[in-house]
Amino acid sequence: MHNASLTLGLIIWSVFAGALGAGVMSLFLWGITRSGFCNVRMLVAIGSLVTRRYENAATVGGVVHAIAGMVFGIFYGYVLVSINHPGVGLNMLYGAVIGMMHGLIMALVLVAAVADEHPLPEFQQRGLSVAVAHWVGHLFYGLVVGAVIGMSGLIGAAA
């Protein structure tokens, strides 16, 4: 496959994978909140960081999270293609490992920095359960991105 076609294909597949992964992660965190385990209203928390209020926070947060998911999807896609192991299973595993590392960093940032500076009191109190929920959410994100990239046919295409 021609390098330009491979790169364009990788970007398209990675953006799709990242958007789908962000959606799955958001759905997982919504379920955690609905279960009563802990409050991880991530989209409202992200959006209210931008808007500084509740109004429209979920919409703004959804857009920001979707864009971030697509951008990180490109990074994950390039890493997975660079590893160059065909198949869905291994790429899901690699994606999950990348997601766990990504989630650990985000959980630490969330607990250490964002909560202290958040404009809304609801999101200023963060604990281990919220950090773990975000960590697992990122693991699911990585699983999804790995599955999509593994099914894309891009891995091994440059050989």
pTM over 0.85: yes
More confident residue, 138 or 107: 138
**Position 158 pLDDT exceeds 70:** no
Say if CB 142 and CB 98 are below 8 A apart. yes
pLDDT at 6 (0 to 100): 64
How high does pLDDT run on average in the chain? 89
Residue with tokens 């999509």: 148
**CA of 3: how far to CAs of 10, 18, 34, 86, 154, in Å?**
10, 22, 46, 18, 11
Domain positions in the chain are 3-151
Residue range 140-156: average pLDDT? 93
**Do residues 32 and 138 touch, judged by C-beta distance below 8 A?**
no
Q: What is the pLDDT of residues 79-117, one digit of tens each?
A: 999 999 988 999 999 999 999 999 999 888 877 767 777
